[in-house]
Chains A and B, each alone.
Chain A
């Protein structure tokens, strides 16, 4: 399935990947090859079938709606390279 540079740029933008111009053509080629390979999904007879979104036990079990201790701030921020009060400090965006 052909995929053009514009589509690659659009998808790269959606995913915030910042592909450089020199990378777009190569990405288009590779995605086209992969999409070609997965395209035979169209041949599967899926009439009347529900999608399988998950396997294993059905349902999402919920715990009791009660407040429980959670990760303390000091542990949560222990790995931060910079800190201001209870916030992570990162380099400013120019």
Chain B
């Protein structure tokens, strides 16, 4: 079996025992990308020269430090195209940033590479992280490695597909309303959105600043904990970064769920769920009960307003964040514009895709005079309601269980003409984003051959508990098998 299909923890052990080198892992990753990615489209950019140099440095460090080297040292990783890397073109999946080469590196990336992880390339995503299918990138679509005619989810679809296909061992994504968890669920991998403020947003090309959060996508829960531990913690470069000490998820992973009270929100399972998703979710609850957890029905009544509040708040913040994109210093430019205003309009029209334009319009409308109170202010008040719901439930419940997505991966193109149908993909992930609490998605079975995700959420800053519950489930259910495509012989 390819080393790239083993867990990060296994690879780390192999590196320390001398069974493999970082150079070999990286060559294997590059070979697998060359062989398999033309069918998937997970990567928009490969940084082979830098990766090979970083792998050699990681091997020297492993030789010098042995067990003292960080767990991610020498591990090949992928980075979502919204994470700035100094000297590497970073476009957020948008034509308006084509040619943008950041002069600095996102803190999450800097921490990962400082610990010796080797970035092999940039993963495709929906433009400015706006989407649930990775069909909105200006550069390419990404396909689900389980069934190539299906979407990988989004917006971190490239990051999820790359891990699912064993092109890299781990990747970083960002999650605003579900953009790590939903693609993780659809691709059959683990995706963790930490507490808002737990991982620095410095160097992340912003979508909605009060919601955006960086997190890992990996093959196992332990791997997610290892990457999370590497990137979490206070950063003076991000004013919303928390100063609280980071909990240690590794120490808690083995503690299990016996005696824990786990809540299933009635509103999340009463709605339209794919029958296979419902079946696997109920089986997952049963498995956790068998491990000694008490499963209880809880109520989050404001959930019914959450998606509407999100689709006002996030576009409003996006319209403000994206106002800086003039498309003139890089991007399409405006060679025939007769005035400065026309130059902005020409460049922004050519530079933004239809979904980004739609959300900028929606956000501008919600913030404009006469509509602000009815939409934006009201949505923020509803956000308070949603957060209060969670606060009440978490007074007596240790963690919340829910399906990650109401359906498995849907066919490519099936929702692109229907924005509302696409937005519904986020209905089970958005409430946790509004409340700012940590939430993880991990594989919980298959529906007609397609992965189903189990979502687990805990109170803010209880990230370690979130991963502990996930690890207990994973030990009982087993790590999900990679898709058939990932097991094809390469080279």
Residues of chain A having any CB pair with chain B under 8 Å: 3, 7-8, 11-12, 14-20, 27, 30-31, 33-35, 37-46, 49-57, 60-61, 63, 71, 75-81, 88, 90-91, 93-94
B305 touches A40 (CB 8 A): yes
| Beta-carbon nearest neighbor of A46 in chain B | B381
- Are B244 and A57 in contact (CB-based, < 8 A)? yes
In the assembled complex, B329 has its CB within 8 A of some CB on chain A: yes
Bound complex: CA A53 to CA B323 (Å) = 20
A33 B312 Cβ-Cβ under 8 A = no
Determine the chain B residues whose CB is within 8 A of the CB of A50 once the complex forms.
Answer: 381, 384
Are the C-beta atoms of A14 and B380 separated by less than 8 Å?
Answer: no
* Binding stretch for chain A, among B3-11, B285-293, B341-349: B341-349
Residue on B nearest A27 in the bound complex, by CB: B361
With known contacts A56-B436, A91-B333, A76–B380 Cβ distance under 8 A: no
Given known contacts A44-B378, A51-B380, A88 and B344 CB-to-CB distance under 8 angstroms: no
Interface contact B242-A57, CB-CB below 8 Å: yes
Cα of A66 to Cα of B99 in the assembled complex, Å: 34
Whether B312 contacts A76 by the Cβ 8 Å rule is no
Q: Are A52 and B343 in contact (CB under 8 A)?
A: no
Q: How far is the CA of A76 from the CA of B86 in the complex (A)?
A: 10
> Is there contact, CB below 8 Å, between A79 and B101?
yes
> Contacts A33-B420, A44-B302, A80-B329: A49 and B103 contacting too (C-beta < 8 A)?
no
In the bound complex, do residue B419 and residue A30 qualify as a contact, i.e. CB atoms below 8 Å apart? yes
Residues of B within 8 A of A52 (CB): 380-381, 383-384, 387, 434
* A56–B195 CB distance below 8 A: yes
Residues of chain B within 8 A of A54, CB atoms compared: 210, 240
CB distance from B307 to the nearest CB of A (A): 8
Partner of A38, one of B312, B335, B387: B312
A30 to B421: give the CA distance in the assembly, Å: 12
- Nearest to B236 among chain A residues (CB) is A63
User: Roughly how many angstroms separate A17 CA and B338 CA in the complex, as a whole number?
Assistant: 16
Task: Report the minimum CB–CB distance from A46 to chain B (whole Å).
Answer: 4
| Bound complex: CA A49 to CA B305 (Å) | 15
4 smallest beta-carbon distances between A and B, as pairs: A55-B436, A18-B345, A51-B380, A56-B197
Contact bitstring B416-432, A, C-beta under 8 A = 1, else 0: 00011001000000000
Closest residue on chain B to residue A38 by CB atoms: B308
Assembled-state Cα–Cα distance A54/B433 (Å): 11
Residues on A with beta carbons closer than 8 Å to the beta carbon of B323: 15-16
Interface string of B368-402 (1 = CB under 8 A from A): 10000011011111111101000000000000000
Taking CB as reference atom, which chain B residue is nearest A36? B420
Is there contact, CB below 8 Å, between A78 and B358? no
Chain A CB within 8 A of B49 CB:
no
Which of B243, B308, B361 touches A8 (beta carbons < 8 Å)? B361
Extra inter-chain contacts (18) besides given A27-B361, A34-B423, CB under 8 Å: A17-B361, A18-B342, A18-B344, A19-B349, A30-B358, A31-B361, A33-B419, A34-B311, A38-B375, A44-B305, A49-B381, A55-B197, A55-B435, A71-B103, A79-B330, A90-B329, A93-B337, A94-B337
